[in-house]
Every structure is written in C-alpha cells, then in structure tokens.
C-alpha cells in the first residue's frame, strides 16, 4: 500500500473541533489543518496561527494604484501633450485625486484577492482530499481534522489514537496521489 497522504478525523460540532485543534497544536504537530464549512470563531488562536499577511499585498497594491494614477495623469496632461483648458493648471493633485483614489482602491482590491489566493496557494485544481468522498461533507455540516503523513510527529497508530481520544467517531486514511 502506498504511503497515505494524511489521516482524517471527522467531528460533529464546532466546539469539538476547536478543542481538538488546541490539543493537536499542543502535541506539536506542524502539517495539519482543520476543514470547516465556515470560518470558526477562535480557531486561529486555537491553531496558533499568526495574523494573516494579506494586508501587505493590499497595501502595496493601493500605493501602486495611487502612484500610477498621479503619474499617469501628470504624464498625459502636463508632460506628453499639455493643453490649456479653461485656464486650469496643467497638473494639480486636486483634479487628479479622484481617478488616483479610484485606482488606489482598484489595485488594493486586486492585491487583497490575489494576495489571498497566493498565500493559500490557490487556484489548485487537484488535491488528495478532494478525491475523498467523505470529505465532501466539509463544505456541508462536518468538521475535519487532517494531519498529514509527512508531519515529523506523525505515527499512524498513535495519531489515530490521539484523534480518537479527542472525540472523533470517524477516522480514515486519505490516499496519496
């Protein structure tokens, strides 16, 4: 039998999976995750996750957008082809503010979405868990704890016992690729 991808334990309630996550973190596992139909309040702390870095992507996007807007308008209306219109200045940060403001938001939003996808390593069109029939319930009403087989602390029998003591009533091995 080929090496399994991971061991997967099913839980029935959000409280159960939250406590299980605390325990698994304390045990010192590293390559593990919980899979839930919706984000569970307090799970980040239970898993010991740090604050997400998405904000940086968005911030850099926003700065780029604002700079792009200002430079673009300056280049077009004041540098490349200046035309006097209504005696208004060739360039002014005031009239170029609205488009630059919109570009700040536009690039910042792309930064947030693409940053989120990048940090999550998505899109990923194939995943061993998505082949598992039972796992389809993770988007329905079940909560799964998955500990990957490549975790340094992973020992099939012991890990299974640990998950059983945490209250999981259904544990199975997930096939690898």
Using alpha carbons only, how large is the chain's radius of gyration in Å?
25
Footprint (CB under 8 A) of another protein, residues 79-118: 80-81, 83, 85-86, 88, 95-96, 98-99, 101-103, 105-106, 108-110, 112-113, 115-117
Residue 48 touching another protein (CB under 8 A): no
Cβ at position 79, least distance to another protein in Å: 10
Residue 77 in 3-state DSSP? Answer: helix
Query: Of these, 4, 25, 47, 149, which contacts another protein (CB under 8 A)?
Result: 47
Cβ at position 35, least distance to another protein in Å: 5
By beta-carbon proximity to another protein, the closer residue of 13 and 156 is 13
Long-range contacts of 123-131 (CB under 8 A, 24+ apart): 128/5, 128/6, 128/174, 128/175, 128/176, 128/177, 129/5, 129/6, 129/8, 129/35, 129/174, 131/175
Residue 114 has a CB neighbour count (10 Å cut-off) of 14
Footprint (CB under 8 A) of another protein, residues 112-171: 112-113, 115-117, 119-120, 122-127, 129-130, 133-141
Enter the DSSP assignment of 88.
-
Cβ at position 157, least distance to another protein in Å: 25
Query: Of these, 6, 7, 24, 73, which contacts another protein (CB under 8 A)?
Result: 73
Number of residues binding to another protein, judged by CB under 8 A: 77
19 contacts: CB under 8 Å, gap ≥ 6: 46, 166, 167
């Amino acid at each position: 039998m080929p090496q399994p991808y991971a061991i997967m334990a099913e839980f029935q309630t959000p409280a159960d999976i939250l406590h299980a996550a605390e325990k698994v973190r304390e045990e010192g596992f590293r390559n593990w995750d919980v899979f839930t139909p919706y984000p569970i309040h307090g799970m980040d702390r239970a898993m010991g996750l740090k604050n997400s870095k998405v904000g940086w992507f968005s911030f850099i996007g926003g700065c780029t957008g604002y700079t792009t807007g200002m430079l673009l308008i300056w280049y077009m209306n004041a540098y490349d082809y200046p035309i006097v219109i209504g005696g208004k200045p060739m360039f002014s940060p005031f009239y170029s503010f609205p488009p630059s403001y919109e570009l700040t938001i536009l690039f910042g939003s792309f930064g947030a979405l693409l940053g989120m996808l990048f940090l999550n390593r998505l899109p990923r069109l194939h995943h061993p868990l998505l082949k598992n029939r039972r796992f389809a319930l993770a988007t329905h009403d079940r909560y799964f704890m998955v500990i990957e087989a490549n975790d340094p602390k992973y020992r099939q029998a012991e890990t299974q016992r640990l998950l059983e003591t945490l209250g999981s009533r259904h544990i199975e091995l997930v096939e690898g690729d």
